[in-house]
A and B are shown apart, each in its own frame.
Chain A
Amino acid sequence: MYNKGTIIPGLVIFVLLVTSPIWLNGLKAATPPKPELPPGGEKKCVMPKEYMRDNHMKLLDDWRDSVLRDEERVLVTVEGKTYRKGLQMACMQCHSNKEKFCDTCHTYADVNPYCWDCHLTPKEAASKEDTH
Chain B
Amino acid sequence: MDKQRRNFLKIASVTALAGIGAPALIRLSSTAALASEHAAAANPVAKPAKGAHGEAASTGIRLGMVIDMRKFVDDPKLLDKAINACNLVHNIPQIDNRKSEIKWIWKAPFENVFPEQSQSHSAHNVENFPFAVLCNHCDDPPCVRACPTQATFKVKGNGIIAMDFHRCIGCRFCMAACPYGARSFNWEDPRPYIKKYNPDFPSRMRGVVEKCNFCGERLALGQEPACVEACKGTGALIFGDLNDARSEIRQVLDKEFTIQRNASLGTKPSVFYIV
- B166's closest neighbor in chain A, by CB? A64
Instruction: Mark each residue of chain A from 89 to 132: 1 if its CB lies under 8 Å from any CB of chain B, else 0.
Output: 10000000000000000000000001001111010111111111
User: Cα distance A131–B197 when bound, in Å?
Assistant: 9
Interchain CB contact under 8 A, A129 and B155 = no
Let me know if B157 is at the binding interface, CB within 8 A. yes
A81 within 8 A of B: no
Contact check, B155 vs A128: say whether CB atoms are below 8 A apart.
Answer: no
Which of A9-17, A20-28, A32-40, A67-75 lies at the binding interface?
A: A67-75
- Separation of A70 and B157 alpha carbons in the complex (Å): 8
Main secondary structure of the interface of B (DSSP, over half): loop
Give CA–CA (A93, B221) in the complex, Å.
18
- Given A71-B156, A130-B198, A131-B196, answer yes or no on A120-B203 (Cβ-Cβ < 8 Å): yes
**In the bound complex, what is the Cα–Cα distance between A120 and B162 (angstroms)?**
21
In the complex, what's the smallest C-beta–C-beta distance from A122 to chain B, in angstroms?
7
The interface bits of chain B over 208-221 (1 if a CB of A lies within 8 angstroms of the residue's CB, else 0) are 10000000110011
Q: Are A89 and B196 in contact (CB under 8 A)?
A: no
Count chain A CB atoms within 10 A of each CB in B155, B197, B199, B201 and give the residue with the most.
Answer: B199
Cβ–Cβ contact A71 & B202, under 8 A: no
Quick check: A73 and B217 within 8 Å, CB to CB? yes
Q: Are B164 and A64 in contact (CB under 8 A)?
A: yes
For the complex, count residues of A whose C-beta is within 8 A of B: 24
Tell me which residues from 146 to 195 in chain B have a Cβ below 8 Å from any Cβ of chain A. 153, 155-158, 162, 164-166, 194-195
CB <8 Å contact, A117 and B197: no
Count class of interface residues, chain B: 20 to 34
Assess A130 versus B196: contact at CB under 8 Å? Given A69-B164, A88-B202, A118-B204: yes
Residue of B nearest to A74 (CB): B220
Kindly list chain A residues whose C-beta atoms are within 8 Å of the C-beta of B2: none
Tell me if A130 and B204 are in contact (CB < 8 A). no
Q: Cβ of B153: which chain A residues have Cβ within 8 Å of it?
A: 69
Contact A68/B202 with A128-B194, A128-B196, A130-B197 known, Cβ cut-off 8 Å: no
User: Which residues between 22 and 73 of chain A lie within 8 Å of chain B, taking CB atoms?
Assistant: 64, 68-71, 73
**How distant is the Cα of A56 from the Cα of B195 in the complex, in angstroms?**
32
Query: By the criterion CB–CB under 8 Å, are B220 and A129 in contact?
Result: no
Shortest CB distance B24–A (Å): 37
Residues of A within 8 A of B158 (CB): 71
Minimum Cβ distance to chain A for residue B243 (Å): 16
Task: Write out the residue numbers on chain A whose beta carbons fall within 8 Å of the beta carbon of B91.
Answer: 120
Chain B residues within an 8 Å CB radius of A88:
199-202
B259 within 8 A of A: no
Which residues from chain B sit less than 8 Å from chain A, CB to CB?
A: 85, 88, 91, 153, 155-158, 162, 164-166, 194-205, 208, 216-217, 220-221
A-B contact pairs, 11 of them (CB 8 A): A64-B164, A64-B166, A70-B156, A71-B216, A88-B201, A88-B202, A118-B202, A119-B202, A120-B199, A130-B196, A130-B199
